[in-house]
Each structure stands twice: as C-alpha cells, then as structure tokens.
Amino acid sequence: MSSFRDRLRAFLEANDPGRPPKDPADRLRHQHEWAALLVDEGFAAPSWPRQWGGMDLPLADQVAYHEAFAKVRRPAHPGSGIFVVGPTIIKHGSDEQRERFLRPGLRGDIIWVQGFSEPEAGSDLPSLRTRADRDGDDYIVSGQKIWITNARSADWLFALVRTGSRESRQHGISYLLIDMTSPGVTVRPLRDMTGGSSFCEIFLDSVRVPVANLVGEENEGWKIARTSLGHERSTAIVAQGMRYRRIIDELHQLARDLGRTHDPRTRQLLAAIEIDVRLIILNNTRTLSTVLAGSDPGPVSSIGRLMFTEFEKRLHELAVDLIGAPSMLAPADPYSVQRGRWVTGFLATRASTIGAGTAEIQRNTIAEQVLGLPREEPVPVAT
C-alpha cells in the first residue's frame, strides 16, 4: 500500500501541467491532455477494471488516490460525465459499447454529458417525456433535456428516454447513448443566475439513434441509471471532504489577512463552520470505514449529501459576510478579494440544495427509507 502511495506521489510530483489557460478552447485542450496522460500512465479511474483504462485498486488504495489528488491542484476532467456513464456501460453495456466508449471517454477524447432532467421532470424524474420510438434498427428520439453542464463541447449524450407508455413512469424508461452530431440535435445555452452559461438545454427533434446504442434492456433504464461500481462513491467522497478542509483553511487565512481573527463574532462564525466541516469529514470517514470493513454503510451515507449541500451554502454566506464590500467587486477589480471567488461561489451554491435531488427529496428519502415513515399520498397518474 505504501508503495502505491509512493508511486502516486512521485507521479504527481513529476507531472504538473500548471495553471489552466484563460481561453476556453485552450483550457479544454489543457484538461484533455492531462486526462489522456492519466489513462496512458495508468493513473485514471481507481475503481475501474484495467481492461477499460482503470486501475482496479483495492478500496484502501482508492481512498489514498482520492486523498492525493485532493491535495494538489490538477486540471479537472474535460468531460466528467464519463464517471457517471462509464460504470453503467461497464456493468450493463455491450462489449462493442465498452470498446468504443470507455477508454476514449476516460482520456477525454469523447466528452460525455448527462441528459436526465427535463423542463417538466426535475424532482419527479420518472415523469420524463422525451420519447424514443422504435423504427427498424433505430430509435426516433424527440424531446427536450435541460440543465446539461458544458453541453457545447459535448460529443455524446447519455440520456433517459421514454420507451414505455406515457403512464409507465420508471418502468418505461430506457438508457440511450446519443451522438451529439446527429441531425436534429440542437444545443442552446442557458444564462444562469451567476451570469455564466455553463448549462445548456438540448432539443431533440426526430433524432435517429441506432438500437445498438441502447444500454441494457429496453425499459430497464431507471435501474441501470443508478449503477455505480462497488463503493466508489464512498471512496470518492473523501476527496470532497478534503477539498472543503482546504477551502476552510483558506478562509481562516483570509480572516487573518483581513485582520478579523480577534473579532469575537468572526471567531464564533469560523468556529461554527469549522465544526461543520469536521462533522462532514467524520461522517464520510464513518461511511468509509464501514465500506473498508466489508459491510454496506446503509442509512448513514444518506446523511452525507444533505449535510454537505447545506454546509456549502452556509460556508459561502459566512465568507461574503466576513469580507463585506470587497467581496462584491467585479472579479477584475484591483480591490476584489481572490478575484470575486466568494461571491461567485455564494451565488453558485444557491443551487446546491436544488441540483441532483433537492433538499426536500433528500429529506423524504431519509424520512421514508431510513426512518420508515409512511409515504405521502400515492401519486395520481399525470394526465
């Protein structure tokens, strides 16, 4: 185990592509080169089989991997959707799909994005309406997907589509891989409340998709979409805790730089957020140690996400309050604090309790699946 850590440390020390370029196209190339290097040198996808470009590491080494990467600044993956679609293809895909998509996706040669949400299907994802109708060896796909991250540079979309009857809910959903260059695919950027447009919506107008791009069986997409490899989420969560440990340390430094560490109110606020981050890390550790001991963490892991999203909001509220006026300056302003990072983060984290399952959905899950409370009234069939 220590030899793996040593090899990893040596690799990271020897390889540092430096700060990302400002120009978006250059930045994408920068990220692509790094992702490809990781695959080629055998330092990508710790939980994936070697056959598909991964490392097939034991759980303890996966943790070490995430720890090491969280400590250093390295380029983000250019198409992180592969880490969602990849495990699904590994478990449920055809050999042809595995050959064609896994390694290129990891290397960043293919940029994957996720098309699950629709304008009318957010929290209630099983009500999604994008239709895929069989026509010979193809599906004809029509509908609209929304809140897709970085769709403008995407090559492939993995989408949930309706193949069953309108009322079939999760029993009539299929998992489809869609080539973004297909005729009938239109991408439109969305302006979000930070002023940026990292999200897009995708319109699908009678797009022909070969049946060979179906993952698993028709109408089995709902279950398939929940695939993950072993306990990779529990190990990856380590990185998240470490990242926020680092951010809190930076916040402490900021308080020192601003000369605020003697202010009693600031001290109280910093102490409160310090407790928060420690609790999150402890909770992650608890989940992880259960996994490492070979058992299922069960209900404990469902606490993590809710804690984390609400913490993220509080942290940025605190930072903006602490910095005051300079946090509100334009990023390029000479007096701005860390290029406006905190107020941008403040605005961006308002989405934390919305995206990937609202706080209400998370609490319902805990209330019903962990505490065993009765479900709300049965859902009437949508008309």
Partner 1 sequence: MDADVVAVVDSIADFFERRSDAQAIAAGMSAPANRRRWTALCEMGLPVLRLAEPDGIGAGLLEATAVAERLGAVLLPEPAVATIVLAEAWSTHSRGTDFLDTLCDGSRVTALCGFDTVELSREGELSGHAHIPDDEPTDAVALLAHDRYTGESAIVVVDKTDLPTPESRITLDPTRPTAAVTLDTIEPVDVLRLSDQAADRIRRELALLGAAELVGGMQKVLTDTLDYVKTREQFGRAIGSFQATKHQLADMYIATEQARAAVQSAALEYVAESDFAAAMVASAARWVPRAAVSMFEDAIHLHGAMGYSWEVDVHLHLRRALVTRDVFNRSKVTAEQLFSAIPAGI
What is the three-class DSSP state of 147?
strand
Task: Specify the DSSP element, H or E, that contains 33.
Answer: helix 24-40
CA dihedral 159, 164, 165, 168 (to 10 degrees): -80
Per CB under 8 A, 313 contacts partner 1? yes
- Binding footprint of partner 1, residue count (CB under 8 A): 41
Which of 330, 371, 372, 374 contacts partner 1 by CB under 8 A? Answer: 330
Buried b (16+ CB within 10 A) or exposed e, 316-350: bbbbbebbeeebebeeeeeebbbebbbbbbbbbbe
CB burial class (10 A; 0-12, 13-18, 19+) of residue 39?
buried
- Report the alpha-carbon distance of residue 195 to residue 330 in Å, rounded: 12
**Footprint of partner 1 on 81-140 (CB under 8 A):** 117, 120-124, 127
Q: How far is Cα 218 from Cα 165, in angstroms, rounded to an integer?
A: 12
The answer to whether residue 232 is catalytic is yes
CB atoms within 10 A of CB 217: 12
Give the single-character DSSP code of 375: P
Q: Considering the candidates 118, 201, 220, 232, report the single residue annotated as catalytic.
A: 232
Min dist. Cβ of residue 302 to partner 1 (A): 17
CB of 141 to partner 1, least distance (A): 22
Residue number with CB closer to partner 1 (292 or 354): 354
Near partner 1 by CB under 8 A: residue from 325, 371, 372, 374: 325
Q: Which stretch binds partner 1 (CB under 8 A): 34-42, 223-231, 287-295, 329-337?
A: 329-337
DSSP-derived secondary structure letter, 118 = B
Beta carbon nearer to partner 1, 26 or 124: 124
Q: Which is nearer to partner 1, 38 or 121 (CB)?
A: 121
**Binding mask 339-358 vs partner 1 (x if CB under 8 A, - otherwise)?**
----x---x--xx-xxx--x
Minimum CB distance to partner 1, residue 215 (Å): 25
Considering only 228, 329, 338, 357, the residue that binds partner 1 (CB under 8 A) is 329
Q: Pairing state of beta strands 199-210 and 185-190?
A: antiparallel
Of residues 306 and 328, the one with the C-beta less far from partner 1: 328
What are the CB-based long-range contacts (under 8 Å, 24+) for 283-289? 283/307, 284/237, 284/238, 284/240, 284/241, 287/234, 287/237, 288/63, 288/234, 288/235, 288/237, 288/238
Nearest to 148 by CA among 191, 115, 192, 184: 115
Rounded-to-integer distance, Cα 383 and Cα 380, Å? 9
Q: Is 24 in the site for partner 1 (CB under 8 A)?
A: no
Q: Which residue has the tokens 């990220």?
A: 31
Of residues 42 and 119, the one with the C-beta less far from partner 1? 119
Residue 221 three-state SS: helix
Distance CA 205, CA 60 (A): 46
> Is 334 a binder of partner 1 (CB under 8 A)?
yes
User: Between 275 and 382, whose beta carbon lies closer to partner 1?
Assistant: 382
Q: Given the rule CB under 8 A, which of 84-92, 283-291, 299-307, 324-332 is the region that contacts partner 1?
A: 324-332
Task: Tell me if 338 sits within 8 A of 316, measured CB to CB.
Answer: no
Closest approach, Cβ 360 to partner 1, in A, equals 5
Dihedral angle of Cα 218, 221, 222, 223, to the nearest 10 degrees: 100
The reply on whether position 368 binds partner 1 by CB under 8 A is no
Name which of 33 and 310 has its Cβ closer to partner 1: 310
* Residue 366 touches partner 1, criterion: CB under 8 A: no
Residues 174-193 that bind partner 1 (CB under 8 A): 190-193
* Between 223 and 313, CB nearer to partner 1: 313
Closest distance to partner 1 from the beta carbon of 240 (Å): 21
**Catalytic site positions:** 232
Q: Provide the binding-site residues for partner 1, judged by CB under 8 A.
A: 117, 120-124, 127, 146-147, 190-193, 195, 313, 320, 324-325, 328-330, 333-336, 343, 347, 350-351, 353-355, 358-360, 363, 376, 379-382
